[in-house]
Amino acid sequence: MPRAEATVRSVSAALYLIAAIAIASLLPSERQPDGLLVAGLIVGYALVSRVRFEFGDSYVVPEQLVYIPLLALAPLPLVPLIVAAASALAILPDLLRGTWHWDRCVTSIGDCWFMLPPVLVVAALDPGTPTVTDAGVYALAFAAQLGADLAWSLVRDHFVDDVSLKDRVMFFIGTARVDAVLTPPAFIIAVTAAVEPLSLLAIAPLVWLLQVFSEDRQERYAAALELHRAYRGTVMLLSDVIEFDDQYTADHSRSVVGLVHAVADEMGIDTERRQELEFAALLHDIGKITIPKELLNKPSALTVAEFEVMKTHTIEGQFMLDRVGGLLGRVGEIVRSCHERWDGTGYPDGLLAGEIPLESRIVFACDAYNAMTTDRPYRPALTVNAALAELKAVAGTQFDPAVAKALKYVVVNSLEAAPAVDEVRAILATKLPQRVGAST
């Protein structure tokens, strides 16, 4: 764990334990401790916490099934300490197997902050033995839990993780829905268990069912990652083919990747579309390997007939990627449209304005700018100012005006950097899903 992250998480865990001990010492409770019940809830909480569902870049666990009964039945002052002990116990098998580092103990405790406000809410309203009429109290406690969870996530991400506010909020909404679904049945079980404690065993079949679903989801997730790696491996292979066939085309494509990344950042392209955009930027000229070399390297302007042959490279590129299928099939659709013009006079389909995929519009503009500022066999490179002037002149006819505006901003502020071969390979080989935070 990096030093900064270790410091934040260690401080968080220490402060949580101080707060938990303070609550245990100062908060009064009319509930009498039942050793067997408390031990059972600790073990149950730990077992439920091991049911992990892959969710986005992280995972969620159904601890609400035990936390609500814990909040309703256990001595309230002890609940924060019980949760900390159960959270540490839950990861013990991972630590013993060596699949997780021992510093995760600190993480598991430091991420328990969302458990404190519900304890204070229930203690303040003091509903006593839980009944169905206390649903409002526990709904308020659940709201306090969500608020604390979001607040702690934002604080942690500010100091530790490079996660945007939008991504964090969207992830939180997704996990909050899981907790919201599990809270009502957990509350009903808690109300029943207040009269008959053995009814807590009703949680077991629910947990078993969730574990089955979790294992199935993990298998599917692993298969998806393998397919993801296969796609990236195919892209690297095709990149090598381009480089072997035509060094200029390969260098040009890598430069376009750098521009496309910066323009996508400027335009706020969401992460779901970025992967196809990356692949399309690198492979937009893959079809040129079918074009005769004498046309690609001709030191003068192409004739009309020769240009008709050159225009087939977008269709050939789509055909090649369609044969791979799946994700690269969709990339092929982008590649096909990478020479469509905003005014509908492009090729091969004469698409107009919004009919052109946004990814194709971005690649087209970046492709053209890079070509203008690169020496070609039939003309020297334009200066940056001359290329920007041309970009402005044809915005609204050749290029999407919004894309042209973003590209100009990127160039003027020097935000793009043409990646080298190894950097492109790093983009393709290492940008696999990463954890954005701890479980919720």
User: At 53, which CATH number?
Assistant: 1.10.1760.20
pLDDT at 141: 94
Q: Is 222 part of any domain?
A: no
Mean pLDDT score, 229-251: 59
Same domain, 321 and 256: yes
The answer to whether residues 281 and 175 belong to one domain is: no
pLDDT (0 to 100) of residue 425: 46
Q: Which domain holds residue 61?
A: 3-195
Last-in-domain residue among 177, 195, 213:
195
pLDDT at 421 over 60: no
Which two structure tokens, joined as six digits, stand for 70? 């814990």
Task: Name the burial class of residue 365, with classes exposed (0-12), middle (13-18) and buried (19+) by CB atoms within 10 angstroms of its CB.
Answer: buried
Quote the CA–CA distance of 240 and 235 in Å, as a whole number: 9
| Selected residue with higher pLDDT from 46 and 324 | 46
d(C-alpha 124, C-alpha 101), whole Å: 38
Q: Is the pLDDT of residue 62 over 80?
A: yes
CA dist 9 and 370 (Å) reads 45
Same structural domain for residues 36 and 157? yes
Percent of the chain clearing pLDDT 90 (strictly above): 26
The mean pLDDT value for 164-189 works out to: 86
The pLDDT value recorded for residue 229 is: 67
- Digit-coded pLDDT (tens) for 388-409: 999 999 999 999 999 999 999 9
Using CA atoms, how far residue 256 sits from 27, 253, 425, in Å, is 62, 5, 15
Q: At 268, phi and psi to the nearest 5?
A: 70, 35
Query: Residues near 92 by Cβ (< 8 Å), separated by ≥ 6?
Result: 46
- What's the pLDDT at 333? 92
Looking at the structure, do residues 60 and 176 belong to the same domain, yes or no? yes
User: Domain boundary residue among 143, 171, 195?
Assistant: 195
In this structure, are 323 and 239 located in the same domain? Answer: yes
Confidence of residue 340 (pLDDT cuts 50, 70, 90): very high
Residues 308 and 187 in one domain: no
Do residues 252 and 152 share a domain? no
> What per-residue confidence (pLDDT) applies to 422?
45
pLDDT, position 362: 94
310: domain CATH number?
1.10.3210.10
Regarding whether 189 and 82 lie in a shared domain, the answer is yes
Q: Is residue 208 part of a domain?
A: no
Is the residue at 247 inside a domain?
yes
Give CA–CA dist 139/76, Å, rounded: 17
47-54: average pLDDT: 84
Q: What is the mean pLDDT of residues 309-324?
A: 88
Check residue 334 and give its pLDDT: 92
Distance, in Å, from the CA atom of 291 to the CA atom of 293, rounded to the nearest integer, reads 6
Residue 158 φ then ψ, to 5°:
-60, -40
Residue 223 lies in a domain: no
Structural domains counted in the chain: 2
User: What is the pLDDT at residue 271?
Assistant: 72
Predicted confidence (pLDDT) at residue 377 exceeds the cutoff of 80: no
243 and 176 fall within a common domain: no
Predicted local distance difference test score (pLDDT) of residue 100: 75
Q: Is residue 221 part of a domain?
A: no
Judge whether 219 lies within some domain: no
Structural domain includes residue 26: yes
pLDDT at 370: 85
Using the predicted structure, report yes or no on whether residue 72 has a pLDDT greater than 50.
yes
266 and 191 inside one domain = no
CA angle 333, 334, 339 (to 5 degrees): 110
- Nearest Cα neighbor of 29 from 116, 113, 124, 117 is 124
pLDDT in the model for residue 254:
65
Quick one: pLDDT at residue 95? 83
The reported pLDDT for the residue numbered 144 is: 94
Helix axes 64-73, 135-159, angle to 10 degrees: 120
> What gap in Å lies between CA 182 and CA 440, rounded to an integer?
13
Residue 431 has pLDDT above 50, yes or no: no
Among 145, 169, 195, where does a domain finish? 195
- 188 and 274 together in one domain: no
- pLDDT of residue 427 exceeding 70, the answer is no
Question: Span 115-127, mean pLDDT?
Answer: 88
313 or 223, greater pLDDT: 313
Decide if 204 is inside a domain: no
Q: Tell whether 175 and 292 lie within a shared domain.
A: no
For residues 238 and 341, the model is more confident at 341
Q: What is the pTM of this model?
A: 0.58
